[in-house]
Amino acid sequence: MKAEDVSGELKEILHTKADIDRRVVELAAEIDADYKDKDVLLVGVLKGAIMVMADLSRALSGQYPMDWMAVSSYGSGTKSSGVVRILKDLDTDLTGRDVLIVEDIIDSGLTLSWLLSNLKSRGANSVEICTLLRKPEALKVEIDVKYVGWDIPNEFVVGYGLDWAEQYRNLDCIAILSPHVYS
Ligand code: 5GP
Ligand code: MG
Ligand code: MG
């Protein structure tokens, strides 16, 4: 879906499909360079990270196995609950593995800081984070994020995997949702 299909519901386009394509390729080049002699497991966080995982993994060189987790944090609203629950766990044993978490967005950072310590406690050799988007709130939490696509304003965004009540995930760009849609 393109922005013009839902233009009355979007306040502003932050990153076009072309911006995203370019930035994802840059992130992939950094990751390839950093992990060139390692066997990395990509861990995507469902469902928001599906698009970035699909594009990032294809832009990487060589084998990058992937696995998925689903955790609850937001429900269908727009505010983090602070309560994290595993809805779907990994199939992969992390013992001795180098893990790269692939995320769509870090907002409060509550989900990721919880996920980070959870994955580290499983005996991984290293756990790093790649997120396409990061909001300023996240900077208040102690999380070391190795790869960030963009820092964005503190507004609710949709598209490229990011939803509001399961809608807008298939929008091909990243846009600020008009508050009239959810208020
Ligand atoms: P956090 O725990 O960092 O506050 O947020 C975790 C999850 O909430 C993200 O992975 C994402 O799924 C969702 N989220 C946070 N901010 C936004 C946003 O602006 N738009 C959408 N659609 N989801 C968000
Ligand atoms: Mg997410
Ligand atoms: Mg969501």
DSSP code of 89? -
pLDDT range class, residue 81, cuts 50, 70, 90: low
Catalytic residue among 55, 104, 107, 163: 107
> Residue with the nearest Cα to atom 4 of ligand 1?
108
Closest C-alpha among 27, 49, 45, 47 to residue 115? 45
- Expressed in angstroms and rounded, the spacing between residue 36 Cα and the centre of ligand 1 is 30
ipTM of the complex: 0.94
Split at pLDDT 50, 70, 90, the class of 74 is low
Burial annotation 45-60 (CB, 10 A radius, 16+ → b, else e): beebbbbbbebbbebb
Active site residue 107: yes
- The tens digit of pLDDT for each residue in 116-140 reads 999 999 999 999 999 999 998 877 7
Name 43's bridge partners: 67, 101
Percent of the chain with pLDDT over 90: 82
The residue that leads in pLDDT, 109 or 89, is 89
Residue 180 lies in a domain: no
Residue 4 lies in a domain: no
Q: Which ligand is nearest to the CA of 70?
A: 2
Residue 78 lies in a domain: yes
For residue 79, the model assigns a pLDDT of: 60
Is 162 domain-assigned?
A: no
**What distance in angstroms lies between residue 38's CA and the mean position of ligand 3's atoms?**
32
Residue 85 lies in a domain: yes
Task: Give me 178's structure tokens.
Answer: 């008009």
Q: Which domain holds residue 136?
A: 20-152
What is this structure's pTM?
0.94
Q: 167: which strand partners? A: 164
| Tens-place pLDDT, residues 29-62 | 999 999 998 999 999 999 999 999 999 999 999 9
Q: Residue 94: inside a domain, yes or no?
A: yes
- Which residue from 9, 79, 102, 105 has its CB within 8 A of the most atoms of ligand 1, so it is best to mutate? 105
Q: Has residue 76 got a pLDDT over 60?
A: no
Number of domains within the chain:
1
Within a domain: residue 116? yes
CATH number where 82 lies:
3.40.50.2020
CA distance 11 to 155: 10
- Atom 9 of ligand 1: nearest residue by CA position: 105
Is 157 exposed, middle or buried (CB count within 10 Å of its CB: 0-12, 13-18, 19+)? buried
> Ligand 1 mean position to 37 CA, how many Å?
32
